Amino acid sequence: MTFIGNEISSILSKNRNKICDSWKKQLIIQSRTLVELIGLNQVEKITQEISDSLIKAVKTINTHEHEDYKKLEKQVAELSREMSLRNITPTETAQLIFFIKDAIFPILQEDYGQNSIIADYILFINSIVDKLGLLTFQIYLESREELIKEQQRAFMDVSVPVVKVWKDIVLIPLVGMLDSSRTQLMMETMLSAIEDTQSKVAIIDISGIPIVDSLVARHLITAASAAKLMGAECLITGIRAKISQTLVQLGVDLSGIVTKTTLADGLQLALQMTEQKLI
């Protein structure tokens, strides 16, 4: 079989505007939400750029210099990244690319008018196979996401241990990043522990939290006031020099909460507060 890239490329470049136009139209008809999401101007830009690159790439794809094709690949990769950042599903992005076929095939068919029936057949099968391909893709993705969610759940289960370290004293050692959902979970487990054990002091140890920003600080204040409302005192330990520096620079006011540098200090204070002595 002789290389047909040149021929196709010349046909396509003759009809370049027509391809861009009908591709755009296809997109507007078949994936309206996508077009609405990224805007008509952006769609126009994408169709034009990729059509141009494709026309160039088709010409050289069978020779040793793949540079044009590499450029096309790069463009599509960039587009995919952008789409995923905008929370557009990979299926939709793939469809966006696939619709160029609907723009190109009629033009090729027009050129080889005599074989139009075969072209029709190919087109027909093609659209079905495309859909199947997309389906496998989507299912794979869904199962991966399911796995990630499950792991997140598993992590959540072990993420907030509450330890009763002494009579009337519970300890919550925190490790890793503290976000809103974890704070919520932490508060719930802490309050249940206080309720169940009727502990008078709760120590939250943040030595394992790498960065304490204003958001984390706010979460900690919330947790402390929750413990206070129940009638327990809340100590925060593990405030290192770096953390205290950032907190003051951020203007976070922790003055209502008792804080200590080390857990040992905190424990000692807690023992004093509950009028207990180590023998």
Task: Give Cα 104 distance to the centre of its chain.
Answer: 34
Find the binder of another protein among 217, 232, 243, 252 (CB under 8 A). 232
Is there binding between residue 113 and another protein (CB under 8 A)?
no
Q: Are 186 and 160 in contact (CB under 8 A)?
A: yes
Binding mask 237-266 for another protein (x = CB under 8 A): -------------------x----------
Is there binding between residue 225 and another protein (CB under 8 A)?
yes
Strands in the chain per DSSP E? 163-166, 169-175, 201-208, 233-237, 258-260
Task: Give Cα 53 distance to the centre of its chain.
Answer: 29
Q: Which of residues 192-221 bind another protein (CB under 8 A)?
A: 192, 194-195, 198-200
CB of residue 73 to another protein, shortest distance in Å? 50
Q: Which residue in this structure is represented by tokens 């997309």? A: 134
**Both structure tokens of 151:** 């792991």
CB of residue 224 to another protein, shortest distance in Å? 10
Q: Which of residues 158-197 bind another protein (CB under 8 A)?
A: 187-188, 191-192, 194-195
Question: What values do phi and psi take at 144, rounded to 5?
Answer: -65, -45
CB nearer to another protein: pick between 225 and 262: 225
Q: How far apart are CA 223 and CA 217, in angstroms?
A: 10
Site of interaction with another protein (CB under 8 A): 187-188, 191-192, 194-195, 198-200, 222, 225-226, 228-232, 256
